Amino acid sequence: MKEISSLFILMKVEIITQKLSDKREDSFWYWDKDIAKIKLENNHNLLLSVSGNVKYLEHGKKYKNKEAIDLFLSEEYNYDDRDLDDLIISGDISESNHFTIIELNESNKVVGDCLGICHEYEEALEMLKELAFLGEK
């Protein structure tokens, strides 16, 4: 059996922002949100959040971040990940946001930056667990 340092024996995952739906896993939908955290025994936290910006261009009008997300979630659009894929391919969306994991000390100061990066909600939660050794058997 693999030995795990006592610093990395963790509590459970605390979900801060629930997944919107199985059709909205892309980091685009979670712009500027904290997603989940795990408290370590040394009182540090591993925090999964979303960073970066998203931009959408439609008929010469630019939408950025929350404005673009609100538009796509509106009843008129009601977009999901498949729609985003098409808009990224066409160049109408410029997406540079992503899920990232950072480590915060007891004072909430960053002591570990970009410990993991990905673009899908479930993949990001798995990455957080793996980083915290919760996936160890």
pTM recorded for the entire structure: 0.83
Residue 96 CB contacts under 8 Å (≥ 6 apart), including other chains: 52, 53, 54
- 3-class DSSP assignment, residue 123: helix
Largest CA distance in the chain: 59
Cα 114 → chain centroid: 12
**Confidence band, pLDDT 50/70/90 cuts, at residue 11:** low
Task: Give the tens place of pLDDT for each residue, 22-72.
Answer: 999 999 999 999 999 999 878 899 999 999 999 999 999 999 999 999 999
Tell me which residue of 62, 43, 58, 53 sits closest to 111, measured CA to CA: 43
Return the ∠ at Cα 33 (arms to 20 and 19), rounded to 5°: 20
At 103-122, the pLDDT tens digits run 999 999 999 888 889 999 99
